[in-house]
Amino acid sequence: MALLAGVPLPPLRHDLDIVPVQHEGKPMLLVSDLLGLEDKPALVSPPVLALASFFDGKKRAREVQAELAKENATLSESEIQDVADQLDKLGLLETAAANETRARALEEFRNSPVRKQPFRGLPDNPLDMAALLNGFSSAPKGPGDWPNGNPSGKPPLGLLCPHIDFARGGPLYAWSYRELARRPPPDVIVALGVAHLPPNSPWAFTRKAYETPFGPLPVAEDLYRDITESLWYDPVVDEWAHAKEHSLEFQALWLKHLWREKTPKWVPLLCSSYERYCVNAPPSSVPTVENAIQRIGDVLAARAKKGQSVLVLAGVDLSHVGRRFGDGMEITDELKKKIESFDRQSLEKALALDADGFFLQGTGENAWRKVCGLSAIYTSLRWIKSLAGGARVKSSLLAYDMAPDPAGGEVSFASAVFET
């Protein structure tokens, strides 16, 4: 049903992902919603979204027309109304209907006993999924070999893994998970991912088992309870962030592929952006966040002292630079070298468990890299250090790589392991 004429035009939805693409030789924008309310992304021309930027829920078509006239742009009220109607049909405007659809989707997620696997384009049966993941070890950038003997030693304290799609980052996942394949499973896993649609709280938790083709990966209820008792807010208030987020979905796939029925339970949490709390200072300067990080670290350390092996697993990427991410510059070999140089400086801080130093290298004047795993890596480093309990931690950078974004830009990522 078309929008009513003469009423304020609804704004664009806030939970949209907008990517510039080329379609039939023309620049277009691929618009998809991060909550998965629409089945397919929409192709929209840049002028249409530029016009929609004037829709704020207050201006009517004639008032938008007047705003355009100030910029020497001429459109009729009916043309503006037609654009609004088209965007509404695509489900891209913040209308009552969109809000009702969002509420139904979130209610369906809340009522589901599992966190379903929403990522498209991956095999849905275990044999095909196993073949896909196995192939990454022998890929050109993969580790080349895979442990075939009995696991030995002890589980690592921490592991940094990519969360980029498998087509671009699969071999680096293999570098990370080969380290786990060499060792026995830990007793429990604390997994930190990135909430690409950031919630209000610093960490979003869920009690739902993550669904995979190899079976569900359930939550460690006792550790979940101990961790969430350290929070100052309801741990599931932002549980919705898990519904469509891939950064931990990909880790669940690898873990269940690796250990199948022996996979330890985990506590999956998604990190929001700490920069909202501290722009040019580390999170340790924010009492609420710092106190919770310390208390959770103490919970993990207490378990380690009792002989329980805890793995802190981070599904994270590094720099995001280029047109896809709002930058005007073109990606050149010189810029890629600069990105890698800055990334490696940050990784040196991370490998030394210098969490504050790592965080500051991704903020302020260094924020141009847009390190999406900044908060998750920071938290991981803090908890790995807590688990070590003063013991010397040996850390190794296993692999580093970057890959182009189809819409223009570069994304970097790395694999690293921490052990005593």
Residue 342, pLDDT > 80, answer yes
Measured distance CA(136)–CA(169) in Å, rounded: 9
Beta-bridged to residue 217, according to DSSP, are: 210
Measured distance CA(396)–CA(4) in Å, rounded: 61
For CA atoms 321, 322, 328, 329, the dihedral sign is positive
Domains of the chain, by residue range, sit at 16-105, 115-419
pLDDT in tens, 387-397: 999 999 999 99
DSSP 59: -
CB 143 within 8 A of CB 137: yes
Average pLDDT of every residue of the chain: 91
Look at residue 99 in the predicted model and tell me its pLDDT. Answer: 82
pLDDT in tens, 110-164: 889 899 887 667 888 999 999 999 999 999 999 998 998 788 899 999 999 999 9
Cα-based distances in Å from 358 to 99, 301, 345, 388: 39, 22, 9, 19
pLDDT in tens, 183-200: 999 999 999 999 988 888
pLDDT in tens, 88-97: 988 889 888 8
Residue whose entry in the numeric block shows the structure tokens 């109607």: 85
Measured distance CA(192)–CA(248) in Å, rounded: 7
Residue 169, pLDDT > 90, answer yes
What pTM does this model have? Answer: 0.85
The CATH class of 16-105 is mainly alpha
Beta-bridged to residue 28, according to DSSP, are: 21
What backbone phi and psi angles, to 5 degrees, belong to 291? -60, -40
Measured distance CA(52)–CA(352) in Å, rounded: 47
Cα-based distances in Å from 79 to 74, 82, 283: 10, 5, 49
Measured distance CA(418)–CA(382) in Å, rounded: 12
Q: Which amino acid is at 360?
A: L
In sequence order, what are the residues at sequence separation of 6 or more whose Cβ sits closer than 8 angstroms to the Cβ of residue 207? 219, 221, 224, 236
Q: What is the CA radius of gyration of the chain?
A: 23
Look at residue 5 in the predicted model and tell me its pLDDT. Answer: 64
Measured distance CA(285)–CA(378) in Å, rounded: 13
Residue 106, pLDDT > 90, answer no
Q: How confident is the model at residue 15 (pLDDT cuts 50, 70, 90)?
A: confident
CATH architecture of residue range(s) 115-419? 3-Layer(aba) Sandwich (3.40)
pLDDT in tens, 406-420: 777 899 999 999 999
Look at residue 17 in the predicted model and tell me its pLDDT. Answer: 75
Q: Assign residue 233 a region (left: φ > 0; alpha: ψ between -120 and 50; beta: otherwise).
A: beta
For 110, the 3-state DSSP assignment is: helix
Look at residue 119 in the predicted model and tell me its pLDDT. Answer: 64
Judged by average pLDDT, the poorest of 14-28, 180-194, 199-213, 260-274 is: 14-28
Residue 2, pLDDT > 60, answer no
CB 180 within 8 A of CB 256: no
Q: How confident is the model at residue 36 (pLDDT cuts 50, 70, 90)?
A: low
